[in-house]
């Protein structure tokens, strides 16, 4: 059996290939070998790739010079172990590459979770190095594996953006404008705002024309505008602008239309970026919202379990909505995985189609 990796060129995501190597005959003391069973793939994974150099996502799973392994959230099973505390048969959830297998060296091992000691990962926020152990009695919602890997990582960002707005009293604005409104992170943010009586604000969506009806159908947005309708926004709309596109042209158009009425603008994601590159400021100066910094604050405020409990409780409420409109498609095999990636790259994803992938 071989280890299979999906590689993309860091400077041109349209160029990608499969790499294969023999399965390790032996792993080192303290290590485990995981077979990656399945992983979610959404437009957010392209955001990881786009920010691969700027934030450091490429360092999570280093490979050949000039090439990268895109991080994904998924589930894996331990198939070999030289770590007594993490036995063969253990199932775990966390951050993986688009590969068939991964060697890890668990550390900080607890009954609920462990961390990976890989040297390349130590400079990144701990959020990306934590793996949940599904055999744990305390691991909730085991029956929602697909929903967990598809929504929870994105929703965690939604949660912390909502928490940021709440902490800042929405910067005194009466509206929140959310671009790429059909993306899952944006939907989570909008849903949390709408369900929270502490934020008495209107939520306004910006989306593509093809996704406008979908956004209108959810009940999360008070008003929905297509991108070509940005110039129809009221000029005096005091707002917080949450950009999930990473598209400087959209940011510039919002700045031109609303000017100082944007009380705070931040770039949360990169769903519309057509190619990788440095994170650029637009002419309005909207800056990157780096979620791990905010998570670190709440980790200090609430502790690991307090933060985790708050996120899971909020997520479980919204995931019931998603189960009503989402269609989970399970895709296996190299050519099928590549076809899904091509659709994502071309912007052909439908918001209602949710992909659970496996390379083998």
Domains in the chain, ordered, with CATH? 2-141+327-358 (3.90.180.10), 151-292 (3.40.50.720)
Q: Average pLDDT for residues 245-266, to the nearest whole number? A: 92
Would you state the pLDDT for residue 169?
96
Q: Average pLDDT for residues 82-108, to the nearest whole number? A: 95
pLDDT greater at residue 140 or residue 80: 80
pLDDT in tens, 294-318: 888 898 899 878 888 898 888 887 8
Would you state the pLDDT for residue 236?
92
Would you state the pLDDT for residue 10?
94
The chain-wide mean pLDDT, for the chain, equals 89
CA–CA gap between residue 41 and residue 3 (Å, rounded): 20
Lowest mean pLDDT among 50-64, 130-144, 254-268, 342-356: 130-144
Q: Check pLDDT > 80 for residue 337.
A: yes
Q: Average pLDDT for residues 81-109, to the nearest whole number? A: 95
Would you state the pLDDT for residue 136?
57
pLDDT in tens, 180-222: 999 889 999 999 999 999 999 999 999 999 999 999 999 999 9
Q: Check pLDDT > 90 for residue 283.
A: no
Would you state the pLDDT for residue 99?
96
Would you state the pLDDT for residue 278?
38
Q: Average pLDDT for residues 279-284, to the nearest whole number? A: 55
Q: Average pLDDT for residues 255-275, to the nearest whole number? A: 81
Would you state the pLDDT for residue 280?
52
Q: Check pLDDT > 60 for residue 276.
A: no
| Neighbour tally for 176: CB within 10 Å | 27
Q: What is the band of 287 on the pLDDT scale with cuts at 50, 70, 90?
A: confident
Q: Average pLDDT for residues 146-152, to the nearest whole number? A: 89
Ranked by mean pLDDT, the top range of 110-114, 141-145, 220-224, 353-357 is: 220-224
Q: What is the band of 272 on the pLDDT scale with cuts at 50, 70, 90?
A: low
Would you state the pLDDT for residue 37?
96
Q: Average pLDDT for residues 102-116, to the nearest whole number? A: 92
Q: Check pLDDT > 60 for residue 277.
A: no
């Amino acid at each position: 059996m071989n280890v299979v990796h999906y590689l993309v060129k860091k400077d041109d995501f349209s160029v990608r290939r499969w790499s294969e190597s023999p399965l390790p005959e032996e792993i080192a003391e303290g290590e485990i070998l995981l077979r990656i069973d399945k992983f979610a793939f959404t437009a957010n994974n392209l955001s990881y790739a786009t920010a691969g150099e700027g934030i450091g996502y490429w360092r999570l799973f280093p490979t050949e010079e000039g090439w990268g392994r895109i991080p994904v959230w998924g589930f894996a099973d331990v198939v070999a172990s030289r770590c007594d505390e993490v036995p063969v048969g253990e199932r775990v959830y966390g951050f993986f590459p688009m590969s068939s297998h991964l060697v890890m060296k668990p550390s900080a091992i607890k009954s609920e979770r462990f961390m990976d000691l890989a040297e390349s990962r130590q400079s990144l926020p701990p959020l990306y190095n934590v793996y949940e152990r599904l055999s744990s009695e305390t691991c909730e919602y085991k029956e929602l594996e697909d929903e967990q890997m598809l929504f929870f990582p994105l929703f965690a960002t939604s949660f912390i953006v909502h928490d940021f707005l709440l902490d800042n009293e929405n910067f005194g604005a009466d509206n929140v404008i959310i671009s790429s409104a059909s993306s899952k992170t944006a939907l989570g943010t909008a849903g949390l705002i709408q369900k929270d009586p502490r934020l008495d604000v209107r939520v306004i969506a910006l989306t593509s024309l093809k996704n406008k009806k979908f956004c209108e159908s959810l009940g999360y947005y008070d008003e929905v505008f297509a991108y070509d309708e940005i110039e129809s926004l009221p000029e005096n709309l005091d707002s917080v602008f949450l950009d999930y596109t990473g598209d400087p042209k959209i940011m510039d158009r919002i700045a031109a239309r609303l000017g100082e009425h944007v009380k705070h603008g931040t770039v949360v994601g990169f769903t519309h970026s057509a190619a990788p590159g440095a994170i650029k400021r637009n002419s309005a100066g909207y800056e990157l919202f780096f979620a791990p910094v905010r998570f670190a604050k709440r980790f200090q405020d609430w502790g690991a379990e307090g933060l985790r409990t708050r996120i899971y409780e909020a997520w479980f409420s919204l995931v019931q909505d998603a189960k009503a409109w989402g269609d989970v498609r399970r895709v296996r095999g190299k050519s099928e995985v590549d076809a899904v990636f091509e659709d994502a790259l071309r912007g052909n994803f439908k918001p209602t189609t949710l992909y659970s992938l496996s390379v083998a």
